[in-house]
């Protein structure tokens, strides 16, 4: 670890950052905001005549200060890394950096460690204000340590994510736009999902019970799983960034897939331990199947699209060695391994929560269908990002279209039977109480749609191959 922290990239990035006037201006503005928040909060308490003890006032000011500091760290951190690699390209020093004997991951790690070091500096700069409030009393030491560890974890996660976007994008402007845009969408979706979950629990709904996790885990187990998940996710982002420093990112994709499998294995272990400790009367069957689909639905569009290899036969991609190459063809065997891991873990679940064999067939059929659709779009567009956005757009537009039509009133009531067609885009039957018949229907439909999509893909390849032959 010390050798990695002392690599040349870390030293160069840290010196370049700390020698610039912009860094100290950022720290000055950061401290001014924190100071103004404390002053304004204190003035509001005094102006409204709130009768508080010194201990209660210090506790309230501490909570306000930490919330503001957490927001500033989360807002500033992505900007520290989104230009880490794109700036090398824009300043024409990228080729010199790649020609050094340093490995790709060492270069990425040096950029990441430099950003994390600055995050620590930002957190420590606010400690004098916290120390004053701490002397006033009312601030719990354990809570303070936990909050600042969470703040550091947020910074680490966002720094690795920003570095990944910097490696993927060509310019700093695009990297900043995509990073902050995706984070804004993620925050919005998280807020909506959290609100829906809270309302479901308050009003006695059970639609989200199948995805509830953590009530049966001890605090030490929760901390352990959270720390391991943070390390794996950050490592995954850094590995993706290092892959994009290669001439062909698909060559190093096996490391990314290994980290994804390890992360999902961690989720499976946490889910099994939670289910064994707490078996809720309101819990539904097919629990682990729902967790599998919920976690991977947002991942498979990126996993099932890309620029495909065309120098191998289709059956050659079914070999275990094909998993080392990150192509759209080898994504299906990888997903089969993921489903197999879930089936094995399901044997350790309580009988009430075990997933039916038909459901596993349904889930695997859905993934095969989306994979075949991703193959078709990848061969048609032949651009990774174009195929990715086309697949996401198709799934999103189809869900919205079916929802709009099914909610329409034509004088004979709503066409609720159309809601079943949403299974084409999302495996919603897993979370429906009346979805048992949908399993049988879609277990048959998914293979048929997969076959049709693959036949269309094969026809497209033959047409293009014949066109190239004629032109030559």
Whether 91 contacts 174, CB under 8 Å: no
DSSP assignment, residue 286? S
Confidence band (pLDDT; 50, 70, 90) for 208?
Answer: very low
Query: Is the predicted pLDDT of residue 17 greater than 90, yes or no?
Result: no
Query: Is the predicted pLDDT of residue 46 greater than 80, yes or no?
Result: no
Flag the least confident range among 95-99, 135-139, 458-462: 135-139
What integer is the mean pLDDT of 248-252?
77
What gap in Å lies between CA 266 and CA 274, rounded to an integer? Answer: 12
What gap in Å lies between CA 430 and CA 285, rounded to an integer? Answer: 9
The closest of 56, 58, 64, 60 to 37, measured between CA atoms, is: 64
The closest of 325, 343, 308 to 461, measured between CA atoms, is: 308
Confidence band (pLDDT; 50, 70, 90) for 453?
Answer: very high
Structure tokens at 325: 């190459």
Query: Is the predicted pLDDT of residue 428 greater than 70, yes or no?
Result: yes
Query: Is the predicted pLDDT of residue 161 greater than 70, yes or no?
Result: yes
**Most confident segment among 13-27, 31-45, 363-377:** 363-377
Q: Which residue has the tokens 């293979």?
A: 447
% of the chain beyond a pLDDT of 90: 18
Residue 206 pLDDT: 45
% of the chain beyond a pLDDT of 70: 83
Q: Which residue has the tokens 């399901």?
A: 346
Domain range summary for the chain, segments of one domain joined by +: 1-203, 206-217+246-472
Query: Is the predicted pLDDT of residue 370 greater than 90, yes or no?
Result: yes
Flag the least confident range among 160-174, 230-244, 301-315, 339-353: 301-315
Query: Is the predicted pLDDT of residue 248 greater than 90, yes or no?
Result: no
Residue 1 pLDDT: 46
Query: Is the predicted pLDDT of residue 156 greater than 90, yes or no?
Result: yes
What gap in Å lies between CA 397 and CA 381, rounded to an integer? Answer: 19
**Most confident segment among 133-147, 181-195, 229-243, 376-390:** 229-243
The closest of 85, 148, 147, 152 to 116, measured between CA atoms, is: 152
Confidence band (pLDDT; 50, 70, 90) for 228?
Answer: very high
Confidence band (pLDDT; 50, 70, 90) for 416?
Answer: low
CA angle 255, 256, 259 (to 5 degrees): 90
427 phi/psi in degrees, rounded to 5: -80, 65
What gap in Å lies between CA 166 and CA 152, rounded to an integer? Answer: 21
What integer is the mean pLDDT of 244-261?
84
Whether 209 contacts 282, CB under 8 Å: yes
**Residue with the larger pLDDT of the pair 188 and 222:** 222
Whether 152 contacts 127, CB under 8 Å: no
Whether 289 contacts 355, CB under 8 Å: yes
Query: Is the predicted pLDDT of residue 13 greater than 70, yes or no?
Result: yes
Structure tokens at 276: 């064994």
Question: In whole numbers, what is the pLDDT of the chain averaged over residues?
Answer: 81
What gap in Å lies between CA 25 and CA 27, rounded to an integer? Answer: 5
What integer is the mean pLDDT of 337-352?
89
The helices-and-strands tally (H runs, E runs) of the chain is 18, 0
H or E stretch covering 233: helix 219-243
pLDDT tens digits along 306-342: 877 766 776 666 777 777 777 888 888 899 899 999 9
Residue 281 pLDDT: 47
Whether 341 contacts 268, CB under 8 Å: yes
- pTM, rounded to two decimals: 0.85
Confidence band (pLDDT; 50, 70, 90) for 343?
Answer: very high
* Residues forming a β-bridge with 414: 409
What gap in Å lies between CA 161 and CA 181, rounded to an integer? Answer: 13
Residue 171 pLDDT: 87
Confidence band (pLDDT; 50, 70, 90) for 194?
Answer: low
pLDDT tens digits along 71-121: 999 999 998 899 889 988 888 888 888 888 888 888 999 899 999 999 999
Residue 417 pLDDT: 66
What integer is the mean pLDDT of 204-233?
72
DSSP assignment, residue 356? P
Q: Cα–chain-centroid distance for residue 29?
A: 31
The closest of 183, 200, 208 to 76, measured between CA atoms, is: 183
Structure tokens at 195: 């609100």
Residue 2 pLDDT: 46
DSSP assignment, residue 100? S
CA dihedral 200, 202, 203, 204 (to 10 degrees): 80
What integer is the mean pLDDT of 371-399?
88
What integer is the mean pLDDT of 51-71?
79
Whether 69 contacts 123, CB under 8 Å: yes
The closest of 215, 343, 128, 181 to 335, measured between CA atoms, is: 343
What integer is the mean pLDDT of 253-269?
90
pLDDT tens digits along 271-305: 888 888 775 544 566 788 888 888 888 888 888 88
What gap in Å lies between CA 99 and CA 152, rounded to an integer? Answer: 33
Residue 411 pLDDT: 47
């Amino acid at each position: 670890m010390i050798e990695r922290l002392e690599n040349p990239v870390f030293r160069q990035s840290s010196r370049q950052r700390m020698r610039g006037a912009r860094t100290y201006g950022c720290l000055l503005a950061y401290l001014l905001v924190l100071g103004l928040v404390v002053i304004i909060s204190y003035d509001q308490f005094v102006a409204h005549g709130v009768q508080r003890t010194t201990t209660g006032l210090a506790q309230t000011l501490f909570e306000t200060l930490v919330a503001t500091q957490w927001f500033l760290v989360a807002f500033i951190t992505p900007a520290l890394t989104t230009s880490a690699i794109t700036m090398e390209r824009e300043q024409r020093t990228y080729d010199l950096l790649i020609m050094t004997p340093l490995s790709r991951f060492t270069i990425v790690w040096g950029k990441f460690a430099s950003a994390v070091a600055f995050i620590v500096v930002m957190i420590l700069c606010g400690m004098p204000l916290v120390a004053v409030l701490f002397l006033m009393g009312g601030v719990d030491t354990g809570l303070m340590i936990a909050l600042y560890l969470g703040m550091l974890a947020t910074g680490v996660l966002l720094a690795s994510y920003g570095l990944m976007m910097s490696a993927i994008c060509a310019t700093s402007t695009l990297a900043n736009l995509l990073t902050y845009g995706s984070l804004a969408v993620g925050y919005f979706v998280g807020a909506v999902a959290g609100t829906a979950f809270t309302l479901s629990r308050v009003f006695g709904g059970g639609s989200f019970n199948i995805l509830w996790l953590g009530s049966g885990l001890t605090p030490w187990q929760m901390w352990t799983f959270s720390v391991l998940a943070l390390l794996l996710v950050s490592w995954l982002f850094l590995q993706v960034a290092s892959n994009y420093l290669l001439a062909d990112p698909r060559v190093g994709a096996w490391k990314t897939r290994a980290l994804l499998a390890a992360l999902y294995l961690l989720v499976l272990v946490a889910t099994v331990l939670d289910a064994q400790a707490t078996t809720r009367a309101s819990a539904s069957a097919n629990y682990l199947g729902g967790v599998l689909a919920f976690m991977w639905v947002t991942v498979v569009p990126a996993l099932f699209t890309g620029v495909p290899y065309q120098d191998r036969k289709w059956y050659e991609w079914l070999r275990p060695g094909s998993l080392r190459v990150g192509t759209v063809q080898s994504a299906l065997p990888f997903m089969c391994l993921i489903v197999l891991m879930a089936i094995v873990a399901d044997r350790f679940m309580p009988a009430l929560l075990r997933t039916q064999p038909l459901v596993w067939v349904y889930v695997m059929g859905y993934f095969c269908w989306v994979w075949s659709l991703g193959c078709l779009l990848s061969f048609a567009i032949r651009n990774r990002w174009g195929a990715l956005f086309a697949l996401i757009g198709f799934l999103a537009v189809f869900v919205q279209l079916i929802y709009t039509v099914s909610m329409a009133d034509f004088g004979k009531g709503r066409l609720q039977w159309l809601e079943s067609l949403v299974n084409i885009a999302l495996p919603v039957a897993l979370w429906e109480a009346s979805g048992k018949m949908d399993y049988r229907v879609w277990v048959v439909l998914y293979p048929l749609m997969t076959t049709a999509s693959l036949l269309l893909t094969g026809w497209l390849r033959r047409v293009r191959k014949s066109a190239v032959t004629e032109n030559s």
